[in-house]
Amino acid sequence: MAFDSFGAFIVMEGHGPYVWACYFVFFLLMGAVMFWSLRQRRFVIAQQRRRTDSTPVRAESPAGASFTRIEPSQD
Amino acid sequence: MHPIRKKRLTIILFLLAGVSVAVGLTTYALRQNINLFYDPSQIAEGEAPVDVRIRAGGMVEEGSVIRDPESLRVEFKITDFTSSVLMEYTGILPDLFAEGQGVVAMGRLDSNGRFVADQVLAKHDENYMSPEVNEALEKAAGKRAAISDAQGEAAASY
Amino acid sequence: MWQIFHKLGSPKWFFGIASTLMPWLLWVGVALLVAGLGWGLAFAPQDYLQGNSYRIIFIHVPSAFLAQSVYIMMAVAGLVTLVWRMKLADVFVKAVAPVGAVLTFLALFTGAVWGKPTWGTWWIWDARLTSMLILLFLYFGVIALGAAISDEKSSARAVAVLVLVGVVNIPIIKYSVEWWNTLHQPATFKLTEKPSMPAEMWVPLLLSVLGLYLIFGWLACLRMQTEILVREGRTRWVQQLVQARGD
Site from C41, C52, C116 to mutate, A interface, most A CB atoms within 10 angstroms:
C52
Counting one residue from B and one from C, how many pairs have CB atoms under 8 Å apart?
117
Query: What does the alpha-carbon distance between residue C203 and residue C236 come to, in Å, rounded to a whole number?
Result: 48
pLDDT on residue C40: 93
What band does A64 get if pLDDT is binned at 50, 70 and 90?
very low
Phi-psi region of B46 (alpha: psi -120 to 50; beta: other; left: phi over 0): left
Cβ distance B125 to C185 less than 8 Å, yes or no, reads yes
The yes-or-no verdict on residue C47 having pLDDT over 80 is yes
Cβ distance B128 to C196 less than 8 Å, yes or no, reads yes
pLDDT in tens, C91-107: 999 999 999 999 999 99
Site from C19, C226, C241 to mutate, A interface, most A CB atoms within 10 angstroms:
C226
Cβ–Cβ < 8 Å for B139, B158: no
Distance (Å) from the alpha carbon of C192 to chain A's nearest alpha carbon: 30
Cβ distance A37 to C242 less than 8 Å, yes or no, reads no
Query: What does the alpha-carbon distance between residue B52 and residue B47 come to, in Å, rounded to a whole number?
Result: 12
Cβ distance A22 to C114 less than 8 Å, yes or no, reads yes
What band does B150 get if pLDDT is binned at 50, 70 and 90?
low
Distance (Å) from the alpha carbon of C110 to chain A's nearest alpha carbon: 5
Burial class (CB in 10 A: 0-12, 13-18, 19+), C33: buried
pLDDT on residue A11: 86
Distance (Å) from the alpha carbon of C32 to chain B's nearest alpha carbon: 22
Residue of B nearest to C84 (CA): B5
Residue of B nearest to C202 (CA): B128
Complex-level ipTM: 0.91
Which residues in chain A have Cβ-Cβ distances shorter than 8 Å to C49?
Answer: none
pLDDT in tens, B60-73: 988 889 998 888 89
Please state the domain extents for chain C: 12-188+197-244
| C-alpha distance from residue B24 to each of A4, B38, C72, C141, C157 (Å) | 52, 21, 19, 22, 25
pLDDT on residue A58: 52
Cβ distance B31 to C180 less than 8 Å, yes or no, reads yes
What band does C62 get if pLDDT is binned at 50, 70 and 90?
very high
pLDDT on residue C77: 95
Cβ distance A48 to C109 less than 8 Å, yes or no, reads no
Touching B (3+ Cβ pairs <8 A), the chains are C
Q: Looking at domain C12-188+197-244, which of 1.20.120, 1.10.260, 1.10.3470, 2.60.120 is its CATH number?
A: 1.20.120
The yes-or-no verdict on residue C193 having pLDDT over 50 is yes
